[in-house]
Structure 1
Amino acid sequence: MSTSTPPPFPRHFHDSELDNSDVESQASSVEASPVITRPKWYNRGPSRSWGAIAKIRELRSRSISATSVDVVKRRRWCRYWLIVVAVFIFFGVMTAIVYFSLVGALIHRLNPPEGTSGLHHIVSTWKEPDENGAFDFKWRDDFSRDIVPKNCHSHNDYWRSVPLYEALAAGCVGIEADIWLTDDRNELLVSHSWSSAKEDRTLRSLYLDPLSRIFSTRNVSTASTEEKEVGLFDADPNVSVILLIDFKNDGHAIWPKLLEQLAPLREREWLTYFDGENVIQGPLTIVGTGNTPFDLVQQNSTNRFIFFDAPLPDISNPIYNTTNSYYASVQMNKAIGHIMFNKLKESQVETIKSQIKAAEEKGLKSRYWDTPGWPISLRDRVWFLLSENGVGMLNVDDLVSATRWNWNWCVVAGLNLCGNS
């Protein structure tokens, strides 16, 4: 039986790591058995040299170190971007706070104080007319105190939550009412269309009776400072309120009924009239438009108290003058064409200027209806253009924006400060 010599220990393996009992056991085992037995350290894993194992351990160590460095770098970048985002959020929040604080302060500064006059009190307590007639308000001697009258026309006034009084409280001297004669010809209903007319909303209950009460009470109250009958504005008692009445159905049938309802006001000398030679101004001026028959306006030459709304494009026609007409009106699109790209062309501006001048030379008040309401910037530019060129009456739907705000400041910091239009 042949014997084989066990392989030598690796050079770097220290002898002290082997127990003497292990050596003796292995030696006796070699002599007793032909099977080659190797030490435990020799069978660890695949057959590799100790140099290769050391290299692998070194590479693993380097890989772990590189991974740790990458993790550290990623964490540093995350912290950096979190700080950047936090800074941006902080300054963004601070900017927003400052922005809205300034806008809020500007709104508070520009927003006119709420009115406290008798008219404003009526607006806050008003109720729809009923079978008993017009709303019965309590008279206050500060009825129109601190209200400055303005040449603005409350377009389709009956659509407002408070007809008549809301426009007067804003200072508008022009008011519009559309009327329909009922089938039995006994009443004049106020409505934009016949289908929406209501029997309690009449020309008398919404306009004529309230105006009569205002004039009769005002001229015997402590608010009156003149011996003659005066208008309803304390700031300028000589201003005449213009009631524009739009005849919606048969004008010739409406005419006698309207004369009948206006007669009590004419008897009290509250109406502007033409006596055959001169126009005598009263605290209320009645103007007919729509289907108002011009021939009936002209027929009474000595006691004419309904005036005509002349067509502004035909203002050069000699039949229209101050003895029979008061307004000279036109729909804006029909006067200058459509406004393209929210900007008026030079030719459109020149047309407006020439029409306003022509009406003024005749002594009539020019008025453009159906003016742009949106966008706000275009609306305000049109208002500026008309006002700067002396339009006789500014036709408005938004009373608050037209009378209480400075149009230069309607849009500030990207916000519309003038409400809805």
Structure 2
Amino acid sequence: MPTFKDFPRRYHDTNGSDIESQASSSVDLEDIEKTKWYHHGGSKSFKSLISVREWRSRPSKGVDLERRRRRKALVRKLFIVLGVLGCFGIVVAITYVSFVGALISRLEPPKVSSGLQHIVDNWNEPDAAGAYKFEWRDEFSRDIVPKSCHSHNDYWRSVPTYEALAAGCVGIEADIWLTDDNELLVSHAWKSTKRERTLRSLYLDPLTNIFENRNVSTASAENKEVGVFDADPNASVVLLIDFKNDGHKIWPILLSQLQPLREKGWLTYFNGTKVVPGPLTVVGTGNTPFELVQANNTNRYVFFDAPLNDISNPSYTVENSYYASVQMSKAIGRIWFNRLTAGQVDTLKKQIKAAADKGLKSRYWDTPSWPISLRDKVWFTLTENDVGMLNVDDLISATRWNWNWCVIAGFTLCGKS
């Protein structure tokens, strides 16, 4: 069978010239087809194409550099502004702190130097031997002006009795619990009672010591020449005793512990005709049995804390009661938006006047203590309407600070937070 030999293919170009075969050509057909992409449309070389691209990219790089320069300049300006504001803020803060410090230094009440303050500074808890004993100083109540304020829950203070008297508050308070061996322990709750903290060690013995050393005038004296406070010898210290458990069992034990003070003529008493004021007035509250208070018709030396919200009740008179008290929220309701409403103020005025008309001292307990601005508004409202006794927790703020300057520039200068 005949075979066909490969023969060289010849191509005829447009000019009629022959082109060598694929085998003998320096560039074969496949290579020509592969390289057509960069010859299409003209005969520009690769280098010329690169140069065009470089030329096209030059404007965008210039724009980016300009943007970077502007951004850096903006950042620099921002840092400068922040630096200036920071320095200004530091200056303002230093000025503010200096201003507040100057106000505190200017408005803070001066330290009191008295025998009472000396006791407060050196007082120790009572022990098995009894109440804290101290060296008596003649300037006991120097520069202390007595005020109609009540040291609420006085036994919670670092120094019961003496701290309230040193601040000028004439009212003090003790919650008492009767034990199985007929001792009266002082505490708000039974679980926190301590054997050494008794009514005698915290209150009766210290008051007895004061009365003896000052040689105070007795209740029978028409004009008191000497009292607890030099500034007002007629000011009577009011001991409010809150009966926490069985009032009928506590009653005879309390009378027996008060009897030595009664025999020395120091207690305010009702003699069947009139009330005779003494340097110490004892008032019962809590579970104090009102019927037992009334029973002592001719020798009554424990008075009752009448309910202020029931002051119209004819049972409560100046002969058997001394305080007329009520929880503030029960008297006027909840205080909203940091202010007393006109209706609430009107209710307070009526209750205070009703108690005063009976000869009783009105007292509101559980008054707001925070925020300080509200506390001060309530204090202002009560005192401006002649409340009988201002119930307070913060003794120093109540007695030594000017309430108008307690909150300055948003900063609380007085008051416990």
TM range (shorter): 0.7 to 0.9
CA distance, structure 1, for counterparts of residue 67 and residue 82 of structure 2:
22
| Mapped pair 1:83 → 2:80 | yes
Give, in whole Å, the separation in 2 of the partners of 1:48 and 1:256: 121
Question: Is 2:392 aligned against 1:387?
Answer: no
Query: 2-side partners of 1:388 and 1:241: how far apart?
Result: 23
Residues in 1 aligned to 2:415 and 2:326: alpha-carbon distance in whole angstroms:
27
What amino acid maps onto 1:365 in structure 2?
K
Partner of 1:291: 287
**8 Å CA contact retained: 2:175, 2:186:** yes
Deviations 1:235-291 (CA, angstroms, capped at 9, x unpaired): 111111100011112212111111111111111111111122221111111111111
Equivalences, count = 370
Gaps of at least 5 residues in structure 2 are 1-25, 27-44, 217-221
Unaligned 5+ runs, structure 1: 1-34, 36-44, 221-225
Q: Which residue of 2 aligns with 1:32?
A: none
What is the Cα deviation at residue 230 of structure 1? 2.6
Secondary structure at the aligned position of 1:97 is classed as helix
1:96 is aligned to 2:93 = yes
Do 1:229 and 1:270's aligned partners in 2 also have CA atoms closer than 8 Å? no
1:170-319 equivalences under 5 Å are: 170-185=167-182, 187-219=183-215, 230-319=226-315
Separation (CA, whole Å) in 2 of partners of 1:419 and 1:359: 29
Letter in 2 for 1:183: D
Structure 1 residues 294-303 or 129-138, which shifts more? 294-303
Verify the 8 A CA contact 1:272 1:285 in the aligned structure 2. yes
What is the Cα-based RMSD across aligned positions, in Å? 2.3
Greater mean deviation of Cα atoms: 401-410 or 154-163: 401-410
Give 1:150's aligned residue: 147
Report if aligned partners of 1:180, 1:249 keep a CA contact under 8 Å in 2: yes
The counterpart of 2:106, out of the listed 106, 109, 114, is: 109
Further displaced range: 289-298 or 148-157? 289-298
Q: Which residue of 1 aligns with 2:4?
A: none
Matched, 1:416 2:412: yes
Once residues 250 and 179 of structure 2 are traced to their aligned partners in structure 1, the CA distance between those partners, rounded to angstroms, is 9
Identify the range of structure 1 (339-348 vs 368-377) with the bigger mean alpha-carbon deviation: 339-348
Work out which of the residue numbers 340, 345, 348 in structure 2 matches 1:344.
340
Provide the C-alpha distance between the structure 2 equivalents of 1:134 and 1:343, rounded to a whole number of angstroms: 44
TM-score of the two chains, using structure 1 as the length reference: 0.83
Q: After TM superposition, which residue ranges in structure 1, 4 or more long, deviate above 6 angstroms? A: 55-58
Rounded Cα–Cα distance in structure 2 between residues aligned with 1:121 and 1:340: 42
8 Å CA contact 1:229, 1:283 repeated in 2:
no
Quote the residue 2:5 is aligned against: none
Corresponding residue SS for 1:76? helix
CA distance in 2, matches of 1:237, 1:420: 31
- Distance of aligned partners of 1:229 and 1:60 in 2 relative to their CA distance in 1, 3 Å threshold: same
What TM-score do the two structures reach when normalised by structure 2? 0.83
1:374 and 2:370 correspond: yes
Aligned 8 A contact 2:394 2:415 in 1: no
**Counterpart-to-counterpart distance in 1, 2:54 and 2:287:** 106
Residues 300, 227 of structure 1: alpha-carbon distance in 2 compared, 3 angstrom cutoff: closer
Give the counterpart of 1:333 among 329, 334, 350: 329
